[in-house]
Structure 1
Amino acid sequence: MLDKNVANSQLSEAPLDLRAPMFSRVRKGGWWLRLITLVTVDLTVLISAWILTELPSLLYTESVYISMFAAIFIQIGALAIQGIYAPGNKRHDYLNIIKTMIFAHGIILLVCVLYQPIEDLSRPTLIVFWFTSTSFVCAGRLIINSALEYWRRKQVLGKNPIFIICSQEEKEQVIGFIQKESRYNIVGSGNCDSLDKLNRLQTLEKINALGATEVLVSWNVIKDRMYLCWLFQASGIMLHIVPMELKPIYRDIVFHNIGGMTCLSFISPVITGRDFWLKRIFDFCFAAVFLILTFPLYISIAIAIKLDSPGSIFYRQTRIGLHGKKFQVWKFRTMRPDADKLQKELEALNEVKDGIIFKIKDDPRVTRIGKFLRRYSLDELPQIFNVVLGEMSLVGPRPLPTRDVDKFSERHFIRQEVLPGITGMWQVSGRSDILDFDQVMKLDLRYIENWSLWLDFQILVKTVQVVLNKEGAY
Structure 2
Amino acid sequence: MAFMSSPVNLNADLRSPSVTHFRKGFVIGWSRVAILLLADILSIVVAWYLAVTVGTRIESAWTIDAKLLPLILAIKISILTARGLYKAGNSRRDYFGLIKAISLSEGLLLLIAFLLEPKAYISRSTFLLSWFLSLLLISIGRWVVDAGLEAIRKRGAVRYPVFLISEVEHQEKNLKLIEQENRYNVIGVADSSCLDKKNREKTFESLRKMGIAEAFVSWRAIQKRLHVCWYFQTAGITLRILPTDTNSFFPKSESWTIGGIPSLTVPVPVIVGGDYWMKRCFDFCCSSLAILILSPIYLLIALFIRLDSPGPIFFRQTRIGLYGREFKVWKFRTMVQNASQLQAKLEAQNEMKDGVLFKMKDDPRITKVGRFLRAYSLDELPQLFNVLVGQMSIVGPRPLPVRDVEKFEEKHFIRQEVLPGITGLWQVSGRSDITNFDDVLNLDNYYISNWSIWLDLRIILQTVRVVLQKTGAY
Partner of 1:113: 114
My pick for the range that moved more, 209-218 or 101-110, is 101-110
* Aligned partner of residue 310 in structure 1, secondary structure: coil
- 2:426 match: secondary structure: coil
Residues 1:24 and 2:25 are matched in the alignment: no
Check the 8 A contact 1:375/1:473 in 2, yes or no: yes
Counterpart in the other structure of 1:372:
372
Note the C-alpha offset of 1:292.
Answer: 1.7
Moved more, 455-464 or 393-402: 455-464
CA distance in 1, matches of 2:10, 2:462: 32
**Distance between the aligned counterparts of 1:262 and 1:454, measured in 2?**
29
Q: 1:90 to 1:67 in 2, by over 3 A?
A: same
- The 8 Å contact of residues 27 and 268 in structure 1, kept in 2 or not, is answered as yes
1:64-79 mapped onto 2 (5 Å cutoff): 64-79=65-80
Which residue of the partner structure matches residue 455 of structure 2?
A: 455
1:316-353 CA distance string (max 9 Å, x none) = 11222234332221100111222223322322221111
Three-state SS of the structure 2 residue aligned to 1:186 is strand
Q: CA deviation at 1:115?
A: 4.2
Which is further off, 49-58 or 160-169? 49-58
Greater Cα shift, 214-223 or 224-233? 224-233
Distance 1:186 1:297 in 2: 60
Matched residues in 1 for 2:9 and 2:193: separation? Answer: 19
Q: Where does 1:45-124 land on structure 2 (aligned, <5 Å)?
A: 45-55=43-53, 63-115=64-116, 120-124=121-125
Asked if structure 1 preserves the Cα contact closer than 8 Å seen for 2:10 and 2:390, the reply is no
TM-score between the two structures when normalised by the length of structure 1:
0.90
Pairs aligned (count): 465
**2:290 matched to which residue of 1?**
290
Counterpart residue identity of residue 132, structure 1 = L
Aligned-partner SS, 1:357: coil
Alpha-carbon spacing, 1:355–1:212, altered in 2? closer, same or farther (3 Å): same
Shift of 1:114: 3.4
Q: Greater shift after overlay, 311-320 or 50-59?
A: 50-59
- In structure 1, the residue corresponding to 2:427 is in which secondary structure? coil
1:109-148 equivalences under 5 Å are 109-115=110-116, 120-148=121-149
Task: Give, in angstroms, the shift of residue 460 of structure 1.
Answer: 2.2
Distance 1:217 1:392 in 2: 33
Q: Render the CA deviation track for 1:103-124: whole Å, top value 9, x for unaligned.
A: 322332333233459x844443
1:385/1:67 Cα in 2 relative to 1: closer, same or farther (>3 Å)? same
3-state secondary structure, aligned to 2:186: strand
What amino acid maps onto 2:163 in structure 1?
Answer: F
Residues in 2 aligned to 1:158 and 1:191: alpha-carbon distance in whole angstroms: 27
Structure 1 position 223, deviation (Å): 4.3
Task: Give the drift of 1:410.
Answer: 2.9
What's the % identity of the aligned pairs?
A: 46
Q: Corresponding residue for 2:170?
A: 170
In 2, Cα distance between the equivalents of 1:82 and 1:406? 52
**Matched residues in 2 for 1:103 and 1:252: separation?**
30
Q: How does 1:345-424 map to 2 (within 5 A)?
A: 345-424=345-424
Q: Does 1:228 align with 2:228?
A: yes
**Contact 2:315/2:333 (CA < 8 Å) preserved in 1?**
yes
TM-score in terms of structure 2 length: 0.90
User: Could you tell me how far 1:466 is from its partner in structure 2?
Assistant: 1.8
Shifted more, 133-142 versus 268-277: the winner is 268-277
SS in 2 for 1:54: helix
- The amino acid of 1:462's aligned partner reads Q
Q: CA deviation at 1:87?
A: 1.7
Range moving further from structure 2, 236-245 or 408-417 = 408-417
How far off is 1:247 after superposition? 3.4
2:37 maps to a residue whose letter is V
Alpha carbons of structure 1 residues 202 and 120: separation in structure 2 relative to 1, 3 Å? farther
Letter in 1 for 2:113: C
Aligned partner of residue 351 in structure 1, secondary structure: coil
Q: CA deviation at 1:151?
A: 2.0
Compared CA separation, residues 292 and 253, structure 1 to 2 (3 A): same
2:249 corresponding residue in structure 1: 248
Residues 246 and 112 (structure 1), Cα distance of their counterparts in 2 relative to 1, 3 Å cut? farther
- Say which is worse superposed, 198-207 or 55-64, in terms of deviation: 55-64
Give secondary structure in 1 for the equivalent of 2:21. coil
Q: Distance in 1 between matches of 2:123 and 2:58?
A: 15
Given the superposition, is the C-alpha separation of residues 417 and 134 from structure 1 closer, same or farther in structure 2, using an over 3 Å criterion?
farther
> Compared with structure 1, are the counterparts of its residues 210 and 273 closer, same or farther at alpha carbon in structure 2 (3 Å cutoff)?
closer
**Does the C-alpha gap of structure 1 residues 407 and 109 become closer, same or farther in structure 2, counting only changes over 3 Å?**
farther
Kindly indicate whether the alpha-carbon contact (under 8 Å) linking 2:252 and 2:266 is maintained by their aligned counterparts in 1: no
Deviations 1:201-242 (A, max 9, x none): 221111111121111000011145542222212222111101
Equivalent in the alignment of 1:279: 279
CA RMSD for the aligned pairs? Answer: 2.6
Query: What amino acid does structure 2 have at the position aligned with 1:137?
Result: I
Q: Kindly indicate whether the alpha-carbon contact (under 8 Å) linking 2:373 and 2:379 is maintained by their aligned counterparts in 1.
A: yes
Q: Which amino acid aligns with 2:347?
A: E
How far apart, CA to CA, are the structure 2 residues paired with 1:229 and 1:371?
Answer: 41
Match of 1:38 among 36, 39, 43: 36
Aligned-residue offset at 1:168: 0.5
For the residue of structure 2 that corresponds to 1:135, the secondary structure is helix
Counterpart mapping for 1:179-198 below 5 A: 179-198=179-198
Q: Secondary structure at 1:55's aligned position in 2?
A: helix
Q: 1:96 to 1:17 in 2, by over 3 A?
A: farther
* Cα distance change of structure 1 residues 256 and 382 upon mapping to structure 2, 3 Å threshold: same
Which range moves more in the overlay, 50-59 or 436-445?
50-59
> One-letter code of the match for 1:17?
D
SS in 2 for 1:143: helix
Q: Which amino acid aligns with 1:152?
A: R
